[in-house]
Amino acid sequence: MLHHLKGKWIIFLTTALALGACQTEETTPEGTADNGRRTVLVYMNARNSLYNNVQADSLEIALGAREMNPEDRILLYVCKDAKSYLYRISASGTRLLMQFGKDLNASNPKQLEMLLKWTRENFPSKSYGLVLWSHSDGWLPSTNVSRAGSRGFGVDVGADGNPWSDRTSDGNLGYQMNITDLAQAVSASGIRPEFIFFDSCLMLGVEAAYDLRNVTDWVIGSPAQIPGVGAQYQDMMKQALFSQPLNPQAFTEGYVQQASSYPEYGDMGVVLGAIKTEKLEALAACTKSMIGKYADGQEPDLNGVLAYDRYLWQYFYRPEYYDLKQVMLRLITDEADRQTWLQALEACVHYPAATPYVNFWSNYASDRLYLNPGEFTAVSTFVPQQRYTDHAADCIYGDLNQAFADTEWAQASGWSDNAYLKNLLNPTPPTEENTPETEEN
């Protein structure tokens, strides 16, 4: 039945998208008379290799809108062609609200800020939500140092780029939005979303969440890769996006249920979690005390610690994204201290959920990461290691140890003061006592 309904709506929504391409920039001041219950902005940064997934997710939103509470609103911003569009989708149909020219870039934080401001002014609501849909690498540095300081969210190749390869016309990876700039854009908009839901890869890392702690109540997403098909938005609209009161568990467990039920996901699997941002500073303070006590000048032993990605040249020497809980329980050896830290973690991180396994890049059994309930927290973290500096010249992200040391989380959690990390960044020169002698001929 689901596929049949999608077939019925495909002409309707595709026609709406086509009409949008013919119109000049337009603003429809709809919804200003009464406060809504919740308005959700879905921000699809799709001028990249996810281009073909826009239509299916848009149709799912259209289907979900048929059952929306009339006090709720959903706005869909789509950037996938030479132009981009903002729509309101409701039970009565799809309406074009604004159209933008080809020079606009969806990875520009000013565009996000403008749309959020416009949403606040034209769709006043008791609460707001933000869905960010695109490629992402979490907190990682930009692959093009002349652009943003951190890749974070989104890839936009521009109107004349090659979306299939995620490359701009000059051959660089598409433009990317710094997570700190994303946070600044949300703050400047005057909206504080109840949630930011990342329907994109690798975004539920403690580093990125810490950057967002002052602009939203909840950060929800995955510490791992997610399938390109993304969430099933008809289900998300019914169960999660407009839940009253907000229910982050409906996002994490709902997404897992979708990945277990819909054939589009194949065997890829998903893992998700939710971070309550008001508890992040307390978690950082507790972590700092433990890092100072247990992380000495030696490289941490991470053998057997759960990693949500692989450190390989094929994956551009991207780091492993270790599970935060498993890292800290490996470092902390005293049971009382473990319980103290776990209490801070559990106040902050909620509703971890996963399929029995997730695949890194393919559907092959050899490419699987098995997840045991209770053993993971669905939040990733970076851990300094010598090899990140050794491979810095080969890594498209540069020296990951230095990039991590510059994050607010590293500074707040004590890692930036760690002797081992400091020595990686500023190696102690050899002394005469430990310099090998050269044999004479």
Per-residue model confidence as pLDDT tens digits over 205-244: 999 999 999 999 999 999 999 988 999 999 999 999 999 9
Q: Who has greater pLDDT, 285 or 176?
A: 285
Per-residue model confidence as pLDDT tens digits over 422-434: 999 998 765 555 5
The Cα angle at residue 20 between residues 18 and 23, in degrees rounded to 5: 120
Residue 265 to residue 71: CA distance in whole angstroms: 32
Mean pLDDT of the chain: 85
| Contact between 270 and 252 (Cβ < 8 Å) | no
CB atoms within 10 A of CB 264: 15
Per-residue model confidence as pLDDT tens digits over 356-412: 999 887 777 788 899 998 999 999 999 999 999 999 988 888 899 999 999 999 999
| Contact between 227 and 268 (Cβ < 8 Å) | yes
In the chain, the domains with their CATH numbers are 24-275 (3.40.50), 280-425 (no CATH)
* DSSP letters spanning 261-326: H-GGGTT---EEEEEEGGGHHHHHHHHHHHHHHH--SSPP--TT--BSS---GGGTT----EEHHH
Task: Identify the band that residue 10 occupies on the pLDDT scale cut at 50, 70 and 90.
Answer: very low
The confidence score (pLDDT) of residue 366 equals 80
CA 416 to chain centre: 23
Q: Who has greater pLDDT, 107 or 288?
A: 288
The tokens for 153 are 């969210």
Q: Among the ranges 40-49, 224-233, 338-347, which has the highest mean pLDDT value?
A: 338-347
For residue 350, is pLDDT > 80? yes
The confidence score (pLDDT) of residue 131 equals 98
The mean pLDDT value for 65-70 works out to 93
The confidence score (pLDDT) of residue 174 equals 62
For residue 15, is pLDDT > 70? no
Per-residue model confidence as pLDDT tens digits over 149-160: 334 666 655 666
The mean pLDDT value for 193-201 works out to 96
Residue 100 parent element (H or E): strand 93-100
Question: How long a stretch of residues is the chain?
Answer: 441
Taking the CA atoms of 329, 385, 301 and 318 in sequence, report the sign of the dihedral they define: positive
pTM of the entire predicted model: 0.87
The confidence score (pLDDT) of residue 168 equals 65
For residue 70, is pLDDT > 70? yes
| Torsion-angle region of 284 (φ positive above 0: left; ψ -120 to 50: alpha; else: beta) | alpha
